[in-house]
Amino acid sequence: MATSNLKEEVYQELSRVTHALSHPKRLELVDLLSQKAFSVDELSHEINMTVASTSQHLQVLKAARLVTTQREGNFIFYRIADDSVARLVLAVRELGFSRNAEINRIITDFRADKNILETITLDDLLAKSKKEKILLLDVRPEDEYQAGHIEGAVSIPVSQLKKRIGELPKGKTIIAYCRGPLCVMSVEAVKILQAKKYPAVQLEDGYMEWKLKQEELSH
């Protein structure tokens, strides 16, 4: 009787995962939650939607078991269920970046528009740190830095960079990073740094990309 429903039933279940990730805002939510836990209210501002809509999308992610919730006082904090969820979204992004001409056009246009000359990846980072003295700068909001950051990084949120720029040493190349390739905080930071004649470069990857890579290396 249960002869060949196996495939149907399992694919049905699996499609709940892909379906949950099939909406752009939900992809964005998972990417955000890869950084740290957020309240619904915070998330709604980040993704620029009403609280009610944000909540709806979070329900979908929760029903697919991609995120979990935890109440803390008045707030309900959403967090990613597992690093494997971040890994899946990363795989989607890499597939898109490597194979989708439209995405490449969007990013190329953006870089041209922002006069971004040089960016480096995590793979380049090690090589660069051997050639010259570098300082790794985390420009995300401080609570994200505290929830986890790339080893050796120093925290100055981009919002405070102008007034705290004196804290930075001269004579080192500053590598600024934020949430990842779709986050513009490091773009902003590099612009500020270069205006003050600091040698600064943007790291394409963010904290979660580094973390996932660390885990891979330890296997």
Partner DNA sequence: AATCTATTCTATTATTTTATTGAATAGTAG
Partner DNA sequence: CTACTATTCAATAAAATAATAGAATAGATT
Q: What is the set of active-site residues? A: 178
133 binds a copy of itself (CB under 8 A): no
113 binds a copy of itself (CB under 8 A): yes
- Partner whose footprint covers residue 110, from DNA, a copy of itself, none (CB < 5 to 8 Å by kind): a copy of itself
Contacts of 39 (CB under 8 A, 6+ apart): 75, 76, 77, 78
Contact with DNA (CB under 7 A) among 73, 98, 115, 217: 73
Contact with DNA (CB under 7 A) among 5, 12, 18, 69: 69
| Nearer to DNA (CB atom), residue 71 or residue 131 | 71
Instruction: Tell me whether strands 67-72 and 75-80 are parallel, antiparallel or unpaired.
Output: antiparallel
25 binds a copy of itself (CB under 8 A): yes
Contact with a copy of itself (CB under 8 A) among 52, 53, 56, 65: 65
19 binds a copy of itself (CB under 8 A): yes
Chain-centroid distance, C-alpha 81: 16
**Min separation Cβ 122 and a copy of itself, Å:** 15
| Nearer to DNA (CB atom), residue 22 or residue 214 | 22
> How would you class 207 by CB atoms within 10 Å of its CB: exposed for 0-12, middle for 13-18, buried for 19 or more?
buried
Token output for 219: 């296997």
55 binds DNA (CB under 7 A): yes
At 80, is the secondary structure helix, strand, or coil? strand
| Nearer to DNA (CB atom), residue 67 or residue 136 | 67
53 binds DNA (CB under 7 A): yes
- In sequence order, the β-bridge partners of residue 134 are 173
57 binds DNA (CB under 7 A): yes
Strand order in the sheet with 200-203: 119-120, 200-203, 173-177, 134-138, 154-155
| Nearer to DNA (CB atom), residue 39 or residue 173 | 39
One-letter-per-residue 3-state SS of 136-176: EEECCCHHHHHHCCCCCCEECCHHHHHHHHHHCCCCCEEEE
DSSP category for residue 10: H
CB 144 within 8 A of CB 207: yes
Binding interface with DNA (CB under 7 A): 19, 22-23, 25, 39-41, 49-53, 55-60, 69, 71, 73-77
Binding interface with a copy of itself (CB under 8 A): 2, 4, 6-19, 21-25, 27-28, 65, 81-82, 84-85, 87-88, 91-96, 98-100, 102-103, 106-107, 109-110, 113, 182-184
